[in-house]
Structure 1
Amino acid sequence: MSLKVEFLFDFGSPNAYLAELALPGIERRTGVKFEYVPILLGGIFKATGNMSPFESLHGIKNKPEYQALETQRFIRRHNVTKFRPNPFFPVNTLMLMRGAVAAQFEGVFEPYFRAAYHHMWEEPKKMDDLETFRAAFISSGVDIDRLLERAQQDDVKKGLIDRTTDAVNRGAFGSPTFFVGKEMFFGKDQLRDVEESIVEQIGQPVSKTA
Structure 2
Amino acid sequence: MTKTVEFILDLAAPNGYLAWYPLKDIVARTGAQLVVTPVFLGGMHKLTGNAPPMMRDADVKGKVPYAALEFRRFLDRHGMDRFSMHPDLPFNSILLQRLLVAADDEAQRQALVDVLQPAVWEQNIDCGDAEVVGKVLADAGFDARALLERTQDDAVKQELVANTSSAVERGAFGIPTFFVGDEMWFGKERLDQLESYLSGGKP
Taking structure 1 as the reference length, the TM-score comes to 0.88
Q: Is the 8 A contact 2:40 2:164 kept in 1?
A: yes
Bigger drift between 104-113 and 35-44 goes to 104-113
Partner of 2:28: 28
Displacement, 1:47? 0.6
Structure 2: gaps spanning 5 or more residues: none
TM alignment of 1:11-22, pairs within 5 A: 11-22=11-22
Q: Deviations over 1:58-89 (max 9, x none)?
A: 24321111001111111122222221111121
> Is residue 2:68 matched to residue 1:62?
no
Please give the alpha-carbon distance, in whole angstroms, between the structure 1 residues aligned to 2:72 and 2:185: 21
Please give the alpha-carbon distance, in whole angstroms, between the structure 2 residues aligned to 1:24 and 1:121: 17
Q: Deviations over 1:105-146 (max 9, x none)?
A: 596323322221121001111211233323333333332221
Change (3 A) 1:98 1:54: same
Taking structure 2 as the reference length, the TM-score comes to 0.91
How many residue pairs get aligned? The number is 202
1:200 partner SS: coil
Query: Aligned Cα RMSD in Å?
Result: 1.9
Please give the alpha-carbon distance, in whole angstroms, between the structure 1 residues aligned to 2:99 and 2:114: 13
Partner of 2:179: 179
Displacement, 1:201? 6.1
Please give the alpha-carbon distance, in whole angstroms, between the structure 2 residues aligned to 1:198 and 1:108: 24
Please give the alpha-carbon distance, in whole angstroms, between the structure 2 residues aligned to 1:37 and 1:80: 24
Partner of 1:101: 101
Partner of 2:143: 143
Please give the alpha-carbon distance, in whole angstroms, between the structure 2 residues aligned to 1:197 and 1:106: 23
Please give the alpha-carbon distance, in whole angstroms, between the structure 2 residues aligned to 1:51 and 1:132: 27
Change (3 A) 1:126 1:57: farther
Please give the alpha-carbon distance, in whole angstroms, between the structure 2 residues aligned to 1:75 and 1:107: 26
Please give the alpha-carbon distance, in whole angstroms, between the structure 2 residues aligned to 1:172 and 1:67: 20
- In the alignment, residue 83 of structure 2 is paired with which amino acid? F
Q: Is the 8 A contact 1:119 1:125 kept in 2?
A: yes
Partner of 2:52: 52
Bigger drift between 136-145 and 187-196 goes to 136-145
Please give the alpha-carbon distance, in whole angstroms, between the structure 2 residues aligned to 1:45 and 1:84: 24
2:172 partner SS: coil
Of all paired residues, the percent bearing the same amino acid is 40
